[in-house]
């Protein structure tokens, strides 16, 4: 008898209905922003993008005034900046240093920061700081070691036949030909 009831307690296995989006309000936006910032470091533009997606979903379902929601969102972002919970400069510094330490090129770092909505002058400033600690050549060496290119290949006998592929890999990673050639042609450590 117990075996027959087991199947009755379960929900049907069919596709689930999508959750109803909540109606947008200043409180809802603030809670959503704080929850997002608890989990992720973000720039002002990133947070606006995330909140905008929520606003659009809500307005599509419930209707409402988009301009009013945008006003709430802008006021919220300004409040978070005033309170220090949202800081583009700190984000850019942290991201530039971590990407540089992991072997990313100056070009890749600049591109990633611009995609996140960091201003061009802040990108230039934080790139200079990160480059002062780790040069492009050191970053290329870190990247080559990670990807096992050139002198860091497991099998040294295949090094010469893979030279062009290794140079191309470093070029795709954003390093100049001169730096890539220097790293690939260097002796193993």
Pair (76, 101) in one structural domain: no
Q: Using alpha carbons, select from 92, 89, 93 the residue that is nearest to residue 81.
A: 89
In a domain? residue 6? no
* 0.75 exceeded by pTM: yes
Structural domain of 48: 26-82
In a domain? residue 19? no
In a domain? residue 40? yes
Instruction: Yes or no: say if 100 and 133 are a contact pair by the CB < 8 Å rule.
Output: yes
Q: Dihedral (C-alpha) 65, 66, 70, 72: value to the nearest 10 degrees?
A: 30
Residues in the chain: 189
* pLDDT tens track for 178-187: 999 999 988 8
In a domain? residue 42? yes
In a domain? residue 36? yes
Pair (98, 59) in one structural domain: no
Domain count, the chain: 3
Q: What's the rounded mean pLDDT across residues 153-160?
A: 85
In a domain? residue 1? no
* pLDDT tens track for 23-50: 889 999 999 999 999 999 999 999 999 9
Joined tokens for residue 170: 């470093």
Instruction: Yes or no: say if 57 and 93 are a contact pair by the CB < 8 Å rule.
Output: no
In a domain? residue 17? no
């Amino acid at each position: 008898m117990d075996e027959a009831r087991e199947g009755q307690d379960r929900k049907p296995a069919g596709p689930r209905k999508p959750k109803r989006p909540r109606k947008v309000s200043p409180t809802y936006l603030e809670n959503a922003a704080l929850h997002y910032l608890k989990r992720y470091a973000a720039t002002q533009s990133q947070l606006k993008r995330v909140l905008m997606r929520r606003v659009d979903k809500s307005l599509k379902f419930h209707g409402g005034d988009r301009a009013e929601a945008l006003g709430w969102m802008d006021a919220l972002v300004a409040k978070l900046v005033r309170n220090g919970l949202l800081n583009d400069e700190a984000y850019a510094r942290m991201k530039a240093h971590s990407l540089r330490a992991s072997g990313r090129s100056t070009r890749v770092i600049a591109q990633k920061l611009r995609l996140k909505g960091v201003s061009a002058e802040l990108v230039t400033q934080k790139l200079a700081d990160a480059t002062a600690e780790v040069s492009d050549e050191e970053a290329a060496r870190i990247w080559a070691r990670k990807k096992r290119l050139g002198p860091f290949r497991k099998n040294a006998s295949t090094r010469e036949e893979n030279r062009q592929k290794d140079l191309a890999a470093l070029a795709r990673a954003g390093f100049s030909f001169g730096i890539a050639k220097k790293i690939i042609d260097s002796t193993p450590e």
